[in-house]
A and B are shown apart, each in its own frame.
Chain A
């Protein structure tokens, strides 16, 4: 079980702090796959990275992250090391370049687990089992990363990231660089890790709502560093409450929809600058139903069991 409470992470720049995560609170239950959806600049990748490793430009300003009752020291790079890979693991956005190109994959994994104080022999049989699970030949361990296709590399990184059965797995845009047929195989392999109880909770970060619709139990929508809406997958897709979620789903072209029959509309304007963010609701300028009260930031509140939303119109 993951609890995130009022998490604030800022980026330091010469022109002031960018408030990429501005008070984010949510939880992910055991065996839950949570889809995290947002456009570029919404803070979704920042949220994913905050749970495992803040890079040099990121600053933990406030808030806590609790995993199975233990608070993660996310602001302390050194202390976080004990949790990484063992308890919290990530499949990064560019898994294509995540592996050491100068080592055979098997050798690289041996070095990796040894560095964590684990003997390679003890995980070897499990590694073979995991390769079978994602449909990779065991011989890939004797190959160099460059010899694998994009989809194979992505699945290989998934196997490595989950080898120690982490409590939380963060998968960041793992399928966006892949072809549709490979995308399906990788997404289903990801869901397979949860189904076999190899990871407790999973956060799947993507810009593609229809992809997380296929595998996620719940969907969390982010906008400009704030949470907009969280609900079970079917609720988000069938009866969203936040105007942003509605507009986002309405803007998706689908197979079978043609402009002559049903002309879709985008969302006018763009997200606000977060340096610093404007007061009030951040979607206000683009929102079709904004009114006076939106000058005040709406709280992220539960409107029905499992369905939370940050909009004055909804609550």
Chain B
């Protein structure tokens, strides 16, 4: 459904924009209907840039992003509007997404004005109630309220409900729960799991490995703009191959397991074992499990 092919993004930085910053380099992956893909990376890994490129908020410098076979870079006015009917994003900070001057449900009304101008009041009210119940919100508690009267979890769910009012098939969720408390964030995660069961594809962007692991069918690990490892979540988390993935997993604080100085030596480069003379950016090391060259980690050199 959604496909990224060799997508790169280069920003011009420095005095007179003379330096290039490679925010995303040659990233390819695919998202199928009813699938959750976790995009995991630390700050500066380019994970949000990828989400923004998919939503056409930034353009890719090179490579193509296709949605149902159409290159999204070619979309113009009418067709772009139709794209947004199918693909929507929800972002990290629910408090800054809303205009504090207006009531929170204005985001729903705006969808009606833009996408459903012909819908009658009764039918619209029914749709809003459906969308709100899908995200387990009580209409009486959230409609006709100002943003400051609602909690972060309620606002975040309201934004997901707003996306559901459209017939979306793709949701880009960029750090949607990092601002929420532990007791409420799991509800938003479960909500995304329910939406996936209904056939929605979700790109779940996060820096938190345990949250990415909970939902995802497939996982993409990013480091400085490049994919270092990707594949089935069970493969990437169960048998991490790349030294960077191993370091990340060993650093995650877990209940019941204390940090230890276990040896993380990954052995010789698994990429070059598959492609001794180089080749595509990722090498297949198992069933639905791809890994990049180990070079660039801990000053390791690769032939």
Q: Which residues of A contact B (CB under 8 A)?
A: 39-40, 150, 179-181, 183-184, 187-188, 207-211, 213-214, 237, 247-249, 251-260, 263-267, 270
Query: When chains A and B are docked, how far (Å) is the Cα of A209 from the Cα of B214?
Result: 18
Q: Is the CB of A253 within 8 A of B189?
A: yes
Question: Is B209's CB under 8 angstroms from A214's CB?
Answer: no
Q: Which of A179, A210, A214, A251 contacts B186 (CB 8 A)?
A: A251
The reply to whether A258 and B255 contact each other, CB–CB distance below 8 Å, is no
A-B contact pairs, 30 of them (CB 8 A): A39-B181, A40-B181, A150-B43, A180-B207, A180-B252, A181-B42, A183-B251, A184-B259, A187-B253, A188-B259, A208-B182, A210-B254, A210-B255, A211-B253, A213-B256, A248-B182, A251-B185, A252-B182, A252-B210, A253-B213, A255-B209, A257-B213, A258-B233, A259-B189, A260-B193, A264-B186, A266-B184, A266-B185, A266-B186, A267-B184
- Cα A252 to Cα B190 with chains together (Å): 12
B211 within 8 A of A: yes
The interface residues of chain B lying within 8 Å CB-to-CB of A260 are 193
Residues on B facing A (Cβ under 8 Å):
42-43, 151, 181-187, 189-190, 193, 207-211, 213-215, 233, 237, 247-249, 251-256, 258-259
B213 touches A184 (CB 8 A): no
Extra A-B contacts (15), CB below 8 Å, given A181-B251, A210-B254, A213-B255: A39-B182, A179-B42, A183-B253, A207-B182, A208-B253, A209-B182, A213-B253, A247-B183, A251-B186, A254-B254, A255-B237, A258-B215, A264-B189, A265-B190, A270-B184
Given A40-B181, A179-B43, A258-B233: A253 and B214 within 8 A (CB)?
Answer: yes
The reply to whether B259 and A258 form a contact with Cβ atoms under 8 Å apart is no
The distance in angstroms between the C-alpha atoms of A267 and B190, with both chains bound, is 13
What residues on A are CB-neighbors of B42 within 8 Å? 179-181
**Distance in Å from the Cβ of A213 to the closest Cβ of chain B?**
5
Q: In the complex, what residues of A have CB within 8 A of residue B186's CB?
A: 251-253, 264-266
Closest to A254 in B: B210
Chain B, Cβ-Cβ closest to A209:
B255
Known: A207-B182, A255-B237. A214 touches B252 (CB 8 A): no
Partner of B213, one of A249, A258, A263: A258
* Contact of A180 with B209 in the complex, beta carbons under 8 Å: yes
**Separation of A267 and B151 alpha carbons in the complex (Å):** 14
- Return the chain B residue nearest A260 by Cβ: B193
